[in-house]
Amino acid sequence: MQSFIQKCRVSCSTKGLCSGLIASTLLLSLLSSCSWTQQTNLGIDTDRSVQEKTLSLVFESFEPKGQAELDRLKQDRTQQFCSTQRGLKDQSQLTQSTTQDQLAEQIRLENQALITPPKDGNYFGDFKRGELIAQDGRGKTWSDPSESPSGGNCYNCHRISKNELSYGTLGPSLYQFAKLRGINSAKDFAQASQNSSTDPLIQYTWGVLMNSKAYNVCTVMPRFGVTLNHKTQGHGGPILNEQQIKDLMSLLLDPRSPVNE
Amino acid sequence: MFSFNTPFKFVLKHLGAALLYAYAWSAFAQAQQLGVSTDAALAQYRSMLQDANPADLYVAKGQALWTKARGPKAQSLESCDLGLGPGVVKGAWVQMPRYFNDTRRVQDLESRLVTCMEAIQGFNTQEIIAQDFSKGERANIALLAAYVSSESQGMTFKVPQEHALEREMYASGQELFYMRGGTHDFSCASCHTQDGRRIRLQDLPNLSTSAGAGFAFGTWPAYRVSMGSIWTMQQRLADCFRQQRFPKPKYVSPATVALSVFMGVNASGQVADAPGLKR
Amino acid sequence: MRTDRREVLKKGALVAGLLMQSLGYLRSANAYQQNAFDAKSVLDLYKSLGLSVPVESKQITLTTPEIAENGAVVQVAANTTYNNIKRWIFMVEKNPVPLVAIFNLTEDVTPAVTLRCKFAQTSDFLAVAQLNDGKVFFARKEVKVTLGGCGG
Amino acid sequence: MSDPMRIRLQSAGGLTTVKVLMSHEMESGQRKDEDGKIVPIWNIQDVFATLNGRVVMSSEWGGGVSKNPFLQFVLKGTKPGDKLSITWRDNKGDTRTDEAVVS
């Protein structure tokens, strides 16, 4: 808890945002220490009795195994909210004309605030390592050792490099990611990466990899670079570490990467 | 895209994010198109195996097991009541999970088989629950499930919703289906609420629709080519939760039965085709 | 250890012998060609079977899936318009042991044979047809083996 | 101790398609177990088919045939009542014979 607030202080640029974040962090920790039945108290209009019955049924049905302890069933605010959003597919469908949409926007902003730039200001790594991370679907399950690094699972949902035919279609194709977005040469890439901290494509790609929920609040894409409130994440922090995210940045944006062939 | 009463400020604030998002999805149609040839090739691979499903070998073993005197009481399961009366196997599976008067619980096929194995044959329920899939009596349950489900092949799903507990289990199953959690924010719905999508090369049935639920619920137990063995619905669900990064669901626990009620009821009117054949 | 093995062999021989007797099938004429199943490459395999290197032929048709989502089970089929075929040799080129199966045909069967075999990786499937006149022909077709599941 | 095969026959115009599923582990001798030790090869080596007692097809298999093997071939000049038998023998000496009748 303490270290989380400190981390947050370091990365906050304005005082207001910072105190807001601390408040919401406190709220989160309060929520996570609440009893199971109180978890759903978000003012969301759904059948309380069904939710309560389900939560107690879930609690008696699961057991901890390996690194997957029961705290994984405790939802944070994003997870609670998105569990109630059935059939909501896209950020573009939100209008803020309803309480639901306003709440969605609040939660999106909370997620946005968790995105931090790379510590050394360099957004890129090695696209070859990035490909391996994209291929790797291991990590964080009860059968994975808790200390080993996680993979990105990227091919489960996305088409990425041309030669890998075994790709999923839950997410958009990322083949020719940079090419389709105006980076066609080593020169384009050098130019963009020189202004990494302001380049919209670099900022967007980094942001989605760090915390997808900052762009589409209930997207099925995991929040790869932020620490959720699970005790068991203490072992390895977020799903991917900063270096892994940099390697994925190169996989997607480097013109030499097989993605941009 | 936005309704007319949308505050203009909100639109402006989000135009950036929305545009970038639309941008990311722009290549989507292209990917779908490229996927067609792969899909056709995979369909060809699967249809070649479908014709002679190794699951048939396990159905024969399960049938032999059903009539064999076993367990501490040395009895066969021929008097087991799967919901249509003692000993009735034909058509029982397409009406499960259902409420059972004797246990006062809603039970799926495997849960009911465990009940019969304890009551009739004298096996210990807790020991069976503590075992691993594919080992000891759990391996036998997979054979029995293959046999029982095969006796409903070609029949139509009619999972009952008459008892209050059956309806309650449906509601809870639905709630759990959409419950996000774990390190990756996944719910069942993350993968199983859209038509025509794949994870890697695996087709993902849309379990919120009748056709999708019918296809998924109606083809487990199944012979898994990659495992060279029969997997039951309980095993399928447990491995889904593992990959969802959730803790482990206990064998035949209420949550797993609730999910089966949700799928089974959604599958109403669809035709059973188990045991199936899967990757 | 040694006696166990001898026992097993003896028992096996006994059972097989009985079967053959009852079926009137002289198995001794067709002893299992272990050396062929030890060959680590297609060329070594031809050598161990005493075959000349076969010629590619359009008269052989192979039915294989383009993509296999699991290499453990891939269904392959071979057929040919040569009416004097006496033997099929099925191979998966890049398997550690390329030889999968040998089929000795008679006039009582058509040349069409289907089998499910393992692919250790993406590889060509090869079927060699040995004709009664001693000529050997082959056809090949690639099967791409992919990772089908979630990779978890 | 081996389990029965499933033999299906489909006849049309004197041709009978034979589809056989066999119950066998078919260990390739290449696979490693959880402790990293090679699982010894255990596979069906010989398979032959007879029609009314006469051998019509014989084959030799290696560890590259899939677990629970499937084999299909076509008999010529069959008539109803013809008796087909399939026999396999594995490298441990275990054998199994099952029969089916052309209808």
CATH number at residue B272: 1.10.760.10
**Domain assignments of chain C as residue spans, ordered by start:** 1-38, 40-145
Q: What SS3 string covers D65-80? A: ECCCCEEEEEECCCCC
In this structure, is residue D18 part of a structural domain? yes
Catalytic residue of the set B80, B188, B191, B240: B240
- What integer pLDDT is reported at residue D32 of this predicted model? 85
Say if D79 falls within a structural domain: yes
* pLDDT surpassing 60 at residue B263: yes
Between residues 52 and 81 of chain B, which touch chain D (CB distance below 8 Å)?
52, 54, 56-57, 60-61
Average the pLDDT over C132-143 and give the result.
95
Say yes or no to pLDDT of B24 above 80.
Answer: no
pLDDT for the residue numbered C149: 53
Q: Is residue B188 part of a domain?
A: yes
Domain interval for residue D24: 6-28+36-101
Residue range D74-96: mean pLDDT, rounded? 95
Query: Is the CB of A141 less than 8 angstroms away from the CB of C152?
Result: yes
pLDDT tops 50 at residue B156: yes
User: With an 8 Å Cβ cutoff, are C74 and B45 in contact?
Assistant: yes
- Indicate whether B112 belongs to any domain: no
The arithmetic mean of pLDDT across residues C27-32, rounded, is: 58
- Do residues B82 and B88 touch, judged by C-beta distance below 8 A? yes
Task: For B46-111, give the DSSP string.
Answer: HHHHHTT-THHHHHHHHHHHHTS-BTTTTB-STT-BSSSSBT--TTTGGG-SEEETTTTEEE-HHH
In a domain, D40, yes or no: yes
pLDDT of residue A81: 93
Q: Does B132 touch chain D (CB under 8 A)?
A: no
pLDDT greater than 60 at residue B19: no
What's the CATH superfamily of A127-260? Cytochrome c-like domain (1.10.760.10)
Domain ranges of chain A: 2-93, 127-260
The yes-or-no reply on A/C contact (3 CB pairs or more, < 8 Å) is yes
Contact of A117 with A206, CB cutoff 8 Å = yes
Angle, nearest 10°, between helix axes B254-266 and B164-177? 90
Asked if B240 is an active-site residue, the reply is yes
Nearest to B272 by CA among B225, B228, B233: B233
Give the chain A residue whose CA is nearest to the CA of B42. A166
Residue that wins the pLDDT comparison between B202 and B133: B133
pLDDT for the residue numbered D52: 95
Is there a contact between A136 and C148 if contact means CB atoms under 8 Å apart? no
**Average pLDDT, integer, range D74-100:** 95
CA distances to B196, C70, C77, D90 from C90, rounded to whole Å, are: 36, 19, 9, 19
- CB burial readout A168-204, b (16+ within 10 A) else e: bbbbbbbbbbbbbbebeeeeebeebbeebeebebbbb
Q: What are the tens digits of pLDDT across the range B61-120? A: 999 999 999 999 999 999 999 999 999 999 999 999 999 999 999 999 999 999 999 999
User: Looking at the predicted structure, is the pLDDT value of residue B256 above 50?
Assistant: yes
Q: Does D92 sit within 8 Å of C12, measured CB to CB? A: yes
pLDDT at res. A101: 86
- The count of domains in chain B is 2
| Range with the poorest average pLDDT among B29-43, B148-162, D6-20 | B29-43
Q: Is D56 in contact with D50 (CB distance < 8 Å)?
A: yes
> In whole numbers, what is the pLDDT of chain B averaged over residues?
88
B126 Cβ contact partners less than 8 Å away, ≥ 6 residues apart: none
Q: Which of C77, C101, C105 sits opposite D62 (nearest CB)?
A: C101
**Residue D36: per-residue pLDDT:** 86
Asked, for residue D77, whether it belongs to a domain, the answer is yes
Instruction: Give the pLDDT of residue A26.
Output: 34
**Model confidence at B132: pLDDT above 90:** yes
Considering only CB atoms, which chain B residues are within 8 Å of C149? 199-200, 202, 226, 279
Residue numbers of B between 31 and 90 with CB closer than 8 Å to A:
31-32, 34-35, 38
Task: Give domain status of residue D81, yes or no.
Answer: yes
Average pLDDT, chain D: 94
Question: Tell me, what's the pLDDT at B2?
Answer: 35
Global pTM? Answer: 0.83
Asked whether the predicted pLDDT for residue C22 surpasses 60, the reply is no
- Within a domain: B157: no
Which of C12, C97, C116 is nearest residue D63 as measured by Cβ atoms?
C97
Statement: residue C78 has pLDDT above 80: yes
Nearest to C100 among D62, D72, D93 (CB): D62
User: Is B147 a member of any domain?
Assistant: no
Contact of C116 with chain B, judged by CB distance below 8 Å, is answered with yes
Distance of CA A164 to the CA centre of its chain: 24
The alpha carbon of residue C55 is apart from the nearest alpha carbon of chain D, in Å, by 23
Token representation of residue D30:
């290449």
Contact C150 A135 (CB under 8 A): no
Q: How many angstroms separate the CA of residue B184 from the nearest CA in chain C?
A: 13
DSSP 8-class letter at B271? B
**Residue at D1 is within a domain:** no
Each residue of C123-139: b (16+ CB within 10 Å) or e? bbbbbbbbeeeeebbbb
Residue scoring higher pLDDT (A53 or B191): B191
Tens digits of pLDDT across chain A (261 residues):
333 333 332 233 333 333 333 333 333 333 333 333 333 334 344 566 888 889 899 989 999 999 999 999 999 999 999 998 886 556 666 676 788 888 999 999 999 999 999 999 999 999 999 999 999 999 999 999 887 789 999 999 999 999 898 899 999 999 999 999 999 999 999 999 999 999 999 999 999 999 999 999 999 999 999 987 655 444 557 899 999 999 999 999 999 999 998
Chain A residues within 8 A of B31 when measuring between CB atoms? 159, 169, 172-173, 175
pLDDT for A21 equals: 34
Note down the domain range covering B220: 164-278
Minimum distance, in Å, between the CA of residue D23 and any CA atom of chain C: 13
Q: Is C66 on the interface with B (CB under 8 A)?
A: yes
Q: C129 vs chain D: nearest CA distance in angstroms?
A: 14
Q: Find the CB nearest D6 among B51, B57, B228.
A: B57
ipTM of the prediction: 0.81
Which CATH number does the domain housing residue D97 bear? Answer: 2.60.40.10
The CATH code belonging to domain C40-145 is 2.60.40.2470
